Amino acid sequence: MIKPVKNKILVTGAAGFIGSALVRKFILNDDFIIGIDNINCYYDQNLKKDRLKNLDHIFKDNKKWIFEKIDLEDKTSLEFVFSKYKPNIVVNLAAQAGVRYSIENPETYIKSNIFGFFNLLECCRNFNVKNLIYASSSSVYGGTKQFPFSEDNFANHPVSLYASTKISNELIAHSYSHLYNLPATGLRFFTVYGPWGRPDMAPMIFAKSILDKKPIKVFNYGKMKRDFTYIDDVVEIIFRCCKKPSTIDSNFDKSNPSPSTSFAPHRIFNVGNGKPINILRFIEILENLIGINAIKEFMPIQPGDVEETEADNSKIYNWTGFKPNTNLEEGVSSFVKWYLNYYIKK
How many C-alpha atoms does 166 have within 13 Å on its Cβ side?
A: 32
Q: State the Cα–Cα distance between residues 251 and 263, nearest whole angstrom.
A: 9
Using alpha carbons, list the distances in angstroms from residue 286 to 8, 190, 279, 321, 330: 39, 19, 11, 31, 11
pLDDT for 203-241, tens place per residue?
Answer: 999 999 999 999 999 999 889 999 999 999 999 999 999
Decide: 94 and 114 in contact? Cβ < 8 Å. no
- Tell me the backbone φ, ψ of residue 41, rounded to 5 degrees: -100, 25
pLDDT for 96-127, tens place per residue?
Answer: 887 777 778 888 899 999 999 999 999 999 99
What value does the mean pLDDT take over residues 58-63? 75
Q: State the Cα–Cα distance between residues 295 and 191, nearest whole angstrom.
A: 23
Helix, strand, coil shares, percent, the chain, to 5: 45, 15, 40
Least confident of 55-64, 129-138, 285-294: 55-64
Count of residues in the chain? 346
Give the other-Cβ count within 10 Å of 188's Cβ.
25
Q: How high does pLDDT run on average in the chain? A: 93
Decide: 279 and 202 in contact? Cβ < 8 Å. yes
What is the model's pLDDT at position 344? 85
Q: Is the pLDDT of residue 26 over 70?
A: yes
Decide: 153 and 113 in contact? Cβ < 8 Å. no
Q: Which residues are catalytic?
A: 162
Q: Select from 336, 285, 338, 269 the least CA-distant residue to 21.
A: 338
What is the value of pTM for the model shown? 0.94
pLDDT for 292-325, tens place per residue?
Answer: 999 999 999 888 778 889 999 999 999 999 999 9
Using alpha carbons, list the distances in angstroms from residue 271 to 73, 136, 137, 174: 27, 10, 9, 19
Q: What is the CATH number of domain 8-197+227-274+309-325?
A: 3.40.50.720
Q: State the Cα–Cα distance between residues 89 and 130, nearest whole angstrom.
A: 6
DSSP 238-262: HHHHHHS-----TT--TTS--SS--
Domain ranges of the chain: 8-197+227-274+309-325
Is residue 5 very low, low, confident or very high in pLDDT (cuts 50, 70, 90)?
low
Decide: 143 and 157 in contact? Cβ < 8 Å. yes
